[in-house]
Amino acid sequence: MRADPETGGFEIWILDLPTGILSRLTPHTCEDPQWSPDSRELVYSSDQKGKLDLYRKEVGGGNEELVFESDEDKWAQQWLKDGSLLFENNSGPVNFYRLPLSGERKPVVLLETEVDKDNPRVSPNERWVAYQSQESGQWEVYIASFPSFGERRQVSNGGGCQPRWRRDGKELFYLGLEGKMRSVEVKGGPSLETNAPRILFQTPLRVDALAAAQYVAARDGERFLFGEPVGEVSKPVTIVLNWTAGVKR
């Protein structure tokens, strides 16, 4: 995501790592881009029709396709292996849904409660989903069975947000509310087993619990990429000189 210096709105840009070349994918304001499993497409949210609807577009170009629209704002969260999309909407408390990207495209409710929740992330084997919830009075990280959200347990202690899985699904990273990176070991087996969280290091972030991605973990869990603001984007100011000349007396 890159902020337009004139409007302050965010657009999607693609950075080619070998060459360092930046190219713009969307010429309008967008939010929360998510890669397809084959990395050939992105799905994202855009308010071109007044509400945040879901769109998709090939990375190499082509036309933008409207995937799903409704009367509520929607945010893409994860493009799953079967081609469906995990997304959340704002109908009061945020709720989680699964949307087939082919056929009828009718969303299926995954978790609908009166408690604030955010940032769902499905494990690599798609057996579990990590997310954050305020049901205890502050943001904490939970892991639940997917897609039923039946078996469930709190895995953070003292506050947590923005969970991310290691590639093999055996470790879950999350941000403590004070900015420390923590991790939880997730054991395989028929039931969910986790160890106590451990502190990895202090991050440079001022944590925003509702941010979609203040960091990215490498697939091996050995490196982390953090987003750091380079300054606020200011909207242009128009200065009118000799304005009194235009006032009718």
Q: Are residues 61 and 149 both part of a single domain?
A: no
pTM: 0.86
Spatial CA neighbour of 208 closest among 132, 94, 97, 135: 132
Q: Are residues 62 and 82 both part of a single domain?
A: yes
Task: Render pLDDT for 78-117 as a digit per residue (tens, 0 to 9).
Answer: 999 999 999 999 867 889 999 999 889 999 999 998 999 9
Per-residue pLDDT at 233: 47
Per-residue pLDDT at 6: 64
Q: Are residues 119 and 83 both part of a single domain?
A: no
> Is residue 24 a part of any domain in this protein?
yes
Domain that holds residue 136: 113-228
**pLDDT-derived band at 62, boundaries 50, 70, 90:** confident
d(CA 174, CA 182): 5
DSSP bridge pairs for 66: 55
Pick from 36-40, 152-156, 199-203, 207-211: least confident: 207-211
> Is residue 248 a part of any domain in this protein?
no
**pLDDT-derived band at 132, boundaries 50, 70, 90:** very high
What is the average pLDDT score of the chain?
A: 88
Is residue 94 within 8 A of residue 76, CB to CB? The reply is: no
Spatial CA neighbour of 203 closest among 230, 231, 238, 174: 174
Q: How many domains does the chain contain in total? A: 2
Task: Render pLDDT for 6-25 as a digit per residue (tens, 0 to 9).
Answer: 666 778 888 888 999 988 88
> Is residue 219 a part of any domain in this protein?
yes
d(CA 129, CA 74): 19
Q: Are residues 224 and 119 both part of a single domain?
A: yes
